[in-house]
Structure 1
Amino acid sequence: MHNTKNLFDPSEGSFPRIAPFALFMAFIAIQEGMRYIGKHGILAIPEDLFLYLYPVKTVSVGLLLFCYRKSYTEITRNCLTNIGNIFTSVFTGIIVLVLWINMDWSWATVGTSSGFNPSLLSDNVTRYTLIFSRILGAAVVVPIMEEIFWRSWLLRYIISSDFQSVEIGKFTLPSFLIGTIMFGLEHNLWLAGIMAGAIYTLLLYRTKSITLCIVAHGLTNFLLGIYVLQTARWEFW
């Protein structure tokens, strides 16, 4: 059995990889709670209020990642000298985007997504500032947070509670299946999420690099942001 007593000990390696993700999910829970309150008429909550919650979430999680930056020894620049791996990472990011925007089938979707719609704001400065914060959060903060949680910590923790003794990118079928499915279920588009989780994990197995997974994930999210702004398909945000 895994020893879980040190999972939330700030001095242990697990905590810096779990805490940013947990904080991110806490913000989502708060947002959904507020939506529930507003929907059921318990309290009047203007829709544009949720737009302002995202930059708060981005800054909060970003600061936590920065505070624990020295713990993330798996994020290195050495792998960025391999042109072949960089190409693979970029190609992966593009492929995930193309598949993602074409997998929004109703049967593969849980609930509905209200999305992030900055057109609700009339003030240009505020609107562009929030768009910038959304792209920054999605393309930088979220990929770092998710990759160190899912593919650096969880995949290895499933193999051994002493996860730091497990090499980055070590394959076992249970860790691959559990990690991929859980990553998918985190998303409203659960099947697209499973697809993305599987592809990013295969990239990890090929390159043995969390950094390149962050690059691919960040590129997917950045291009998705551009796509959303061009098409006004806010449900993808």
Structure 2
Amino acid sequence: MSRFPERLREDLLRLGLSDYEARAYLSLLTEGPLTAMELSRRAEIPRSKVYEVLGRLEGKGWINPGEGRPAKYSARHPREALYIWRSIRDREMRRYEEEALDELENVSSAVQEKEDILIIIGLEAALSSVIGILGRCDEDVFVAIPEELTEGLDELLGALVGRRGRTSVLAPNADVARSIKRKLPGALVRVKSDMFGGGAICGASEVALLLGRGRGNSSQYLTIRADHPGLAALARSYFEHLWSLASDSGVE
């Protein structure tokens, strides 16, 4: 990949491609149609991962389906690929917005009736809320750490040490991701630099959603904490969407 400008690779990562996907697309774009094994060699992608990478690129609209025997894959024209990818992301975001609206309206109508749905104000309180959920969770957890919470990273990770369930973490940058892997070697970690807010999900119901600050410099940091299966399912769906756009480059 050294023959491609680093800025170009970073742009593709910001657009939602993983490092392997960026390598594959650039190789197909510059070298023409390639078989999976040829692409594995040219783009330095492990054979065990190359078909998975090609499948994701096809699903995102960046490449054409393989043709012939053995199948050869080709890159779409960049303008066409970006148009398709933008359309896919716009459809996904509209779906998430509709799902979020339905669930948030349900939450809004239940806030005064249910003691297990709380609005939390302040960044320190947000961190404490996330740590509380992680510390008592015996199920799989999914954590998205925004930049604002990195100052309390050690305390947050301490709540995850020694857990038996699976731990999946989205980090805001590669340095934080490497710190997480050092302290939690068994965790699945990816980097997503442009997250809006963050949060933690425990199993199928408990969730803390970090909404960030409202408008104005003096606005308080807001968090929703709930034991609500619908809200947790929505948060899990959005986490998986961000995970699919995140990069594992530089994490190890």
TM-score class normalised by the smaller sequence: under 0.3
Q: Which structure carries more relative contact order (alpha carbon 8 Å, separation 6+)?
A: 1
> As a proportion of its length, which structure holds more helix?
1
TM-score normalised according to structure 2 size: 0.26
